[in-house]
Structures are given as C-alpha cells and as structure tokens.
Amino acid sequence: MANACGVDFGTSNSTVGWVRPGEAPMLPLEDGKVTLPSVVFFNVDDDEVSYGRAALAEYLAGYEGRLMRSMKSLLGTSLMEGQTEVGGRALPFKMLLSQFIGELKHRAETAAGRKFESVVLGRPVHFIDDNAAADQTAEDTLAGIARSVGFRNIAFQYEPIAAAFDYESQIDHEELVLIADIGGGTSDFSLVRLSPERARHVERLGDILATGGVHIGGTDFDKYLSLTSVMPLLGYGSQLQGGAEIPSSYYFNLATWHTINQAYTKKMQAQLGELVRDAREQDKLLRLQNLIEDRAGHWLAIQVEEGKIGLSDAETVQLNLDRLHPPLTLDLQRALFDQAIGHLVGSIEQTVNQLLADAGLRAEQIDTVFFTGGSSGVKLLRERIAALVPGARKVEGDLFGSIGAGLALDAVRKFG
C-alpha cells in the first residue's frame, strides 16, 4: 500500500486517491461516494458545521446559517486575507479553507484506516492568469493550509498531468495525448507522451511537451447562464424612473458562487430598498428583494447549475423556481446558453491553440483527446475543443475521479 495520498481540492468537488493492491484508488468520502462537494454550511440554529451534500441539504432545508462554496476561487486573490461573518463572528477565509481540507483529510483517513502525513496536491496550471506572483502566493497558501491540518510532506502536481497519469494506466501503447481538464474554476490542458514503458519512470518532465490553462470553468458558465436567462426575471437590465439602469452589482454577486453572500449585507439591502421604490419594473425588483431577504441566492445558483448540466443532453431544460415570489417556471435554451458562453469558449480555444504552438505540434499529430473534469460535459465546449484536433480519438475519463486517481499514482512515485 502507498505511504501517501493524492488530494484533488476542487472548486466544485474534491476527491482523495490512495493506491493499494487490487482496489480502485478513490476513497469514499460521503455516504459511499468518492466525491465530497466543496461546500461548507455553518448551521446557526444547531451551532454545527456540515460539509458536502449534507451541507447543501441543510441549507436547502431552510436552516439559518452561512453556506460557502467555490472556496478554491479565493486562492491567490485579495479576498483570501479577508473574512466573512458567521453567526455574528468573524471567520477568516484562510481558516474556512483549513476547516474544509482538514475535514477532507479526516474522511480520507477514516476510509483508509490509517493516517496520511505525505500528500501530492493537485493544482491548476494557473490559479491566477497572467500574474506569477499571485499564482505562487496561491500555491504557498494552499501548502500552508495543508501543513496546518497535519500533512508534513507536501508536493504539487498540475491537475491535467495527474489526469494524464490516470489515462496512461489504461493504455497499452504510446500515444501523444491532449488532456482537457475542465473543472469548476479553471480549464487546464497538457500535451503529454504516454505509454506503459514511460509510466515506470519517476521523472516525467521530458514527456510533458506543454501545459497551459485559463481561469475559466464551470462556475463561469453558471454565471453567464444566470445573467442571460435568470437574472432578467429579477430586474437585471431594467431601468429606474429617470432612465438609469439598475446597478448590475446585485446580479453579478448573485450569479457568482463565491460572492453570493455579499448580496446579503445590510448596506446592499438598504440600497436595494431605495431602488425598488424608483424602479420602472417594480415587480422584478421586489422579486429580487424577496430573494435576498430569504437568503435564497445559493438555492438559485444550484437551480442554474442543474439547468446547465441538463443542457449537456437536452436542447431545453425547465427550471422550477418555486422559491421566487411569485413562483415561476423558466425554459432554459441551449442555444441561448451557447451564445452566453461563446466568449469564454473562445478564450479556451485560444489557450489550446497556444498550447499546440508552444509544443511545436500540428493538430494532426495528436492521437487522443482525453476529457476530464465535471464541466467537460458542456456540449459546445467539447465540440469546439474536439474540432481543433479533428483526427484525434475522443476519450472521456472519470469526470470527477481521474485527477484524484492520477495524483495517487504520482504520490507513489514521489513518496513510495
């Protein structure tokens, strides 16, 4: 059995992998499932903290408290040094991340029946785009958090490289592979030469031809789907009596997972009360006001996320928005979703093209595209990436487990 584990702390979901003979590497973390949604709920009614699916269930059941999600997006930003209010107490964001990763470690150790002091942590190619200093700060912060929860020996691996190692364990001949890891917060890519023979080597730097990434992922797709299809129901794009547009900050906060709580501040609610009285479409602003008073922003974001997932397989998905006042149903259209995220997909395409250029490769030289990450199911994105390398075989990995499994394999190489 391996001495170390691999931890994939994700924007939306987290996993832990551990290599042992004759068994799948992924450890069960919640109710037998190998994923733990990266969610924390501070239940003020019961003065308890819950995680993952249980956290979402308590929040949706109406318990008073504070829900936090997409915490990984804070790494490398100025928000990381800030804090949020929970039950009248200030909680630093760094402590919040430590609590979640500590819980992740505890659950993995319980499932494995042993302690882990050594770990390979996954990281995106870029925590922060075009800012090397902030990117290094993000990694250093994550390493410090890992040490604070009991990991003594810490290494990092790019998430798409980890996914490559997982795919490599499944092939019987050499391939030149484009790894497309589309997660909740980032889209990361690598071009790697893989084979059973190469897999035996501890040092793989020479097999990695290029890596690249952009800070665009599933939460960004959620955001623009929400702004395009849902937020207009709450007054986004509408006007005040004098002709000025309603400030967009309310809608951008509610459409972005890690800023939803900012819409609940007393200052924002007081300003919104004044806007309601001066709005041309008062019914929409009242709907927004009621949503914020009910602290239902995360509920709405969950509905949008589920709608996005549904659009991977259907042209139209119906949302039942029964917590709005009055309740509404909304038909989400894939065509409108594709239009809303077109600029994001275009940036991702540029990243892949730059990756090929950096490696000095032509599209026809790529043997396989390996898709992983929960957001690689977005149909437009997958089609556009596949079109860049039309001759390559398209393979779908374990969308939520490939990175954790690959990190576990890398942990064996690094720590035994």
pLDDT string in tens for the chain (416-residue length)? 899 999 999 999 999 999 999 999 999 999 999 999 999 999 988 889 999 999 999 988 888 888 888 899 999 998 898 888 887 788 899 999 999 999 999 999 999 999 999 999 999 999 998 899 999 999 999 999 999 999 999 999 999 999 999 999 999 999 999 999 999 999 999 999 999 999 988 788 899 999 999 999 999 999 999 999 999 999 999 999 999 999 999 999 999 988 998 898 889 889 999 999 999 999 999 999 999 999 999 999 999 999 999 999 999 999 999 999 999 999 999 999 999 999 999 999 999 999 999 999 999 999 999 999 999 999 999 999 999 999 999 999 988 899 999 999 999 999 99
Nearest-5° Cα angle at 305, 299 to 307: 105
Cα dihedral across residues 147, 15, 132, 362: positive or negative: positive
Q: Which two tokens stand for residue 200?
A: 């035996």
**Residues whose CB is less than 8 angstroms from the CB of residue 214 and which lie 6 or more positions away in sequence, other chains included:** 126, 129, 186, 187, 347, 348, 351
Nearest Cα neighbor of 83 from 300, 272, 249, 261 is 261
How far separated are the first and last CA of the chain, in Å rounded? 9
Determine the distance from the C-alpha atom of residue 228 to the mean position of all C-alpha atoms in its chain, rounded to a whole number. 20
3-state secondary structure the chain: CCCCEEEECCCCEEEEECCCCCCCCECCCECCECCEECEEEEECCCCEEEEHHHHHHHHHCCCCEEEEECHHHHCCCHHHHCEEEECCEEEEHHHHHHHHHHHHHHHHHHHHCCCCCEEEEEECCCCCCCCHHHHHHHHHHHHHHHHHCCCCEEEEEEHHHHHHHHHHCCCCCCEEEEEEEECCCCEEEEEEEECCCHHHCCCCHHHEEEEEEECCCHHHHHHHHHHHHHHHHHCCCCEECCCCECCCHHHHHHHCHHHHHHHHCHHHHHHHHHHHHHECCHHHHHHHHHHHHCCCHHHHHHHHHHHHHHCCCCCEEEEEECCCCCCEEEEEEHHHHHHHHHHHHHHHHHHHHHHHHHHCCCHHHCCEEEEECHHHHCHHHHHHHHHHCCCCEEEECCCCCHHHHHHHHHHHHHHC
Distances (CA, A) of 5 to 99, 114, 251, 404, 411: 19, 11, 40, 9, 6
Evaluate the omega torsion of the peptide bond into residue 25 and state whether it is cis, within 30 degrees of 0: no
Q: Which two tokens stand for residue 79?
A: 């928000």
